Amino acid sequence: MSEPLEQILSQYQTEKREITNVDEPQCSLVLFKVADKNFAFYGAQIKEILADRPISWVPGCPPSLEGVINHRGRVESVITLNSLIETPAAENVAKRTILMGRGQKMQSGILVDKLVDVLDVAQSQIHPAAEHLSAAMQKVVVGIVPVGKEYFALLDLDLIFERYLETSGYDALA
């Protein structure tokens, strides 16, 4: 065996690698960035991923409502996560993505700065959310997911929609 190959093989033998059970339940996640922070939604909650498109501003709407779009002949709202999770908006985002999500109480587009990936992960890889999150984040983060060397805060879309309704004043109308 050549020396470089021996070194590579010995590295693999000494590394601590997690063994993944292939029969373990999996779930699909949509990974994205907002203001250079990593987030994810359950894939089952996201019905479609749309490329950047014009969003029409609607006067008198709350700050978390970016506006509306025409999607397949329907007017759909588009909300921004920044004010809901108390994160400043990113500057100079060239092309953003709209995640069309459907929850139990409502459906809406969610404006994100960058789509990272859509992938399946073992449910055991979803860890409980950290206790030191901000109050706004604690209301919507349901877990932490390691992907490679990065960590993604897993958001529940129904909790995002509840927070939107609370902060926009629409919840009081129901």
Residue 17 lies inside a defined structural domain of this protein: no
Tell me if 11 is assigned to some domain: no
Whether 105 is covered by a domain: the verdict is yes
What's CA 135's distance to the chain center, in Å?
18
Residue 173 has pLDDT above 50, yes or no: no
DSSP letters spanning 36-51: TEEEEEEGGGEEEEE-
Residue numbers of the domain that contains 162: 23-168
Say if residue 90 is exposed, middle or buried (CB neighbours under 10 Å; 0-12, 13-18, 19+): middle
Q: Which amino acid is at 173?
A: L
Q: How many domains does the chain have?
A: 1
- Asked if residue 156 belongs to a domain, the reply is yes
In a domain, 119, yes or no: yes
Of 96, 92, 86, the C-alpha closest to 133 is: 86
Taking residues 45-73, report their average pLDDT.
91
Residue pLDDT, tens place only, 124-157: 999 998 778 888 888 899 999 999 999 999 999 9
Asked if residue 72 is part of any domain, the answer here is yes
**pTM, two decimal places:** 0.80
